[in-house]
Every structure is written in C-alpha cells, then in structure tokens.
Amino acid sequence: MKVLILPGDGIGPEIVAQAKKVLTVLKNDGLDLELQEAPLGGAAYDQYGSPYPEFTQKLAREADAILLGAVGGPQYDTLDRPLRPERGLLAIRKDLNLFANLRPAILYPELANASTLKPEVVSGLDILIVRELTGDIYFGQPRGIRVNEAGEREGFNTMLYAESEIRRIGHVAFQAAQKRGKKLCSVDKANVLETTEFWKEIMTDMAKEYPDVELSHMLVDNAAMQLVKAPKQFDVIVTGNIFGDILSDEASMLTGSIGMLPSASLDANNKGLYEPSHGSAPDIAGKDIANPLATILSVAMMLRYTFNNEAAALRVENAVKKVLAQGLRTGDIFEAGTTRVSCSAMGDAVVAAL
C-alpha cells in the first residue's frame, strides 16, 4: 500500500512527523506500507512554483492513501490566487475526486473539561459530519473580482450543485447513518438559497431509499446554534462544502480543541486523503507545541476506510486514549492537574502506547 505524505506548511511538518512515527511502527509490525513524501501548498510553490505541482500530482494519483498536514500561511496571501496554497488543496481534492469528507467529532471522556460546553451537555458526544468536498461555492464558476457596469469593483462566487453531486454525498451520509444511530440531519439554507433548496429536495427524495434512516432538515444558522446548545441531538450531519467547513470547526470545540478533529476525504472507491480538520496554524508554527492527535487519528481513519484494517485503526485510537488517560496534554487541551507536553513528546507517547 502506497501512502503519500504531504507535510505542507506551518505546523504541517511538525504534526505529520508524529503521524509518520505511528505509520512507521505499524510498518515495522508488518503492515505492508510504502511511504513517500511530496510537497503541497506553499512548500510546493516555494520548490516548484505551483501549489500542486506535477511531481506531487503523479505521486498522489499513484498512491492508495495520502496523509496531509495543512497548507497556507500569511506569506502566501499576496500571491496570484491560482498560486495560493489553499488552491493547491482544492486542486488535489478535485483531481482525485475526493468528494466525501468525513469529520467525526468525538469527545474523549478525559477531555470533558476541555470542551467549551458543560460536561453534562457534551459527555458521550459522537457526531459525524459528512461534508461534500468538491462542489459548492468553493468550486462553482464563475468566480473572481471584477469591475461592474457602474465602475465599482465587486467580488463574486457561485454556489452550485449538480444533482449527481448531491446524490453521491447523500448515499455516503445515509449509509453512514445506517451503520450508526440511524439519524441523518441535512443542513441547508433552503429558505434563501436555491442551491440548497435543491439540495433539500434531493435529500428528501433519497430518504425513500433509506426507510431505516430518520431524515431531518435544519437551516444552517439554527444548526450552528443547536451544535452549542444540545449537540447530542445529532448523529450524522450531511451538508455542503462551505457549511460543513464552518460547522466542523465549530463542532471541534465541543471535543476540546480543533487539534482533536481528524478527517477523511474519500473518492467513490475509498481512496482517501487524510488530514486534521484544522489549518496550518501559523501562530504556533515552528514551536513544537501543536496538538498532533487529530493527524494521528486521521491515520486511524486511513487504516479504517482505505486499508479496511479495523484492528489497526482501533490500535491507534486506543493508543491515543491511553496517552489522554495518562494525563498528557498539548497546550490547547491542557488543564490543571494534567501534564503539558510538546507536539513531538505527544507523538512519542502515542508510539510508546502503541
């Protein structure tokens, strides 16, 4: 199995280095893994003048799974738009058809006090956000900044979903709900946006194929509020690219930190790109203080979804549980009575727990 590692920018190389330690343990224990590395994002621009260069494209297409840190940073904000790191990330997602982004928000009991919500509201939290990843306003054309007829500059993007795009993410979400609590909440803004009115219509139609799943609909503004009011009402949430992006960052805080939220971005055959849900965190980059657990938990998702190796996935997740039970915490989840450790020490502790 070929795993391509894309460290990326900011804290990317630091957190990916910890996940790589985990992959190396699994490899040494007999898992058939071939690890390769390539640049993506700003690092790729610096080296090749493109955020998703041909060198990376070739390896990404050949890989069975990809592990990404994160991309972006303020030093790239003034580049022409197509050269910006984030465009490299959108490009690899589109190139590999990684339309299904799974973002589980799970509260580990040891982090109950790190959650922004009261323990009684959040204990036992286990939500799966299914975010469509290759459509919506992030990809719709036309887009840009132009001068309008009145001579004023204006920015514009297009929120667009084809029926086939909605149906394929719908199937992923309904089937995920079938394997869990059998509740699916489709989040939209159907009261004002035609794109999501259409989304709601298709999801409603699809529900007939999944009579064992209880489908509900919620407007995104209410969903944002309900997530911090009573998050345990949700089992699986399915939504478009931009709403899923925002709601998953919000949901991460219920678990203690964005540094705890892994993700899988899958194509129709479960080839996947695995990455933490957060960004490159330029404010803490280079200090060895970032939380690597979301990235390590993304390795567990890789083992589960692409390699179909549930035992190895559980082994990694149990190692993470063990270090939390030992009281080890990076700064973002630190509280009195626990032991603050660096990013690399956290990686070493997970390896020891493995």
Ligand X SMILES: NC(=O)C1=CN([C@@H]2O[C@H](COP(=O)(O)OP(=O)(O)OC[C@H]3O[C@@H](n4cnc5c(N)ncnc54)[C@H](O)[C@@H]3O)[C@@H](O)[C@H]2O)C=CC1
Catalytic site includes residue 161: no
Q: Is 285 known as a binding-site position? A: yes
Largest CA distance in the chain: 66
Angle among Cα 20, 95, 22 to the nearest 5 degrees reads 10
Binding mask 259-298 vs ligand COI (x if CB under 6 A, - otherwise)?
Answer: ------------------x---------------------
Q: Is 48 known as a binding-site position? A: no
Binder to ligand X among 17, 22, 43, 71 (CB under 6 A)?
71
* Four-residue CA torsion sign, 222, 228, 231, 235: positive
| Minimum CB–partner distance for residue 287 and Mg ion (Å) | 22
Nearest in space to 5 (alpha carbons), one of 46, 35, 48: 35
Residues 82 and 113 sit within 8 Å (Cβ to Cβ): no
**Which residue's entry shows tokens 């803490």?**
284
What are the CA-CA distances from residue 201 to residues 161, 187, 196, 342 (Å)?
Answer: 12, 12, 8, 48
**Which residue's entry shows tokens 């995920």?**
176
Catalytic site includes residue 29: no
327 Rama class: left (phi>0) / alpha (psi -120 to 50) / beta: left
**Residue 251, φ and ψ in degrees, nearest 5:** -65, -30
| Minimum CB–partner distance for residue 249 and Mg ion (Å) | 6
Footprint (CB under 6 A) of ligand COI, residues 124-183: 138
Asked if 346 interacts with ligand X (CB under 6 A), we say no
Residue nearest to Mg ion (CB): 245
Asked if 200 interacts with ligand X (CB under 6 A), we say no
How far apart are the two ends of the chain, measured CA to CA in Å? 21
Residue-by-residue DSSP string for 272-290: EEE--SS---GGGTTTT-S
Nearest in space to 77 (alpha carbons), one of 66, 85, 89: 85
| Minimum CB–partner distance for residue 121 and ligand COI (Å) | 25
Over the Cα atoms of the chain, what is R_g? Answer: 20
Which listed option, ligand COI, ligand X, Mg ion, none, makes contact with residue 115 (CB within 5 to 8 Å by class)?
A: none
The residue from 189, 210, 274, 332 that is catalytic is 189
- Count of residues in the chain: 354
Footprint (CB under 6 A) of ligand X, residues 247-276: 258-259, 275
- The gap from C-alpha 309 to its chain's centroid, in whole angstroms, comes to 20
Which listed option, ligand COI, ligand X, Mg ion, none, makes contact with residue 283 (CB within 5 to 8 Å by class)?
A: ligand X
Q: Is 315 known as a binding-site position? A: no
Q: Is 32 known as a binding-site position? A: no
Show the tokens assigned to 179.
């394997």
Return the number of the residue (70 or 122) whose C-beta is nearest Mg ion. 70
Binder to ligand COI among 4, 89, 107, 213 (CB under 6 A)?
89
The residue from 136, 235, 245, 332 that is catalytic is 245
Which amino acid is present at 99?
F
Segment holding 346, helix H or strand E: helix 343-353
Return the number of the residue (13 or 72) whose C-beta is nearest ligand X. 72
Instruction: Say how far apart CA 348 and CA 244 lie, in whole Å.
Output: 32
Return the number of the residue (212 or 283) whose C-beta is nearest ligand X. 283
| Minimum CB–partner distance for residue 86 and ligand COI (Å) | 4
Q: Is 53 known as a binding-site position? A: no
Asked if 245 interacts with Mg ion (CB under 5 A), we say yes
Q: Is 69 known as a binding-site position? A: no
Q: Which residues bind ligand COI (CB under 6 A)?
A: 86, 89, 138, 245, 277
Point out which residues bind Mg ion (CB under 5 A): 245
Sequence ranges of the binding site for NAD(+): 73-86, 279-291
Q: Which residues are annotated as a binding site?
A: 73-86, 93, 103, 131, 221, 245, 249, 279-291
Known binding-site positions for Mg(2+)? 221, 245, 249
Where in the sequence numbering do the catalytic residues fall?
138, 189, 221, 245, 249
The footprint of ligand X (CB under 6 A) covers 11, 15, 70-73, 86, 89, 258-259, 275, 278-284, 290-291, 294, 332
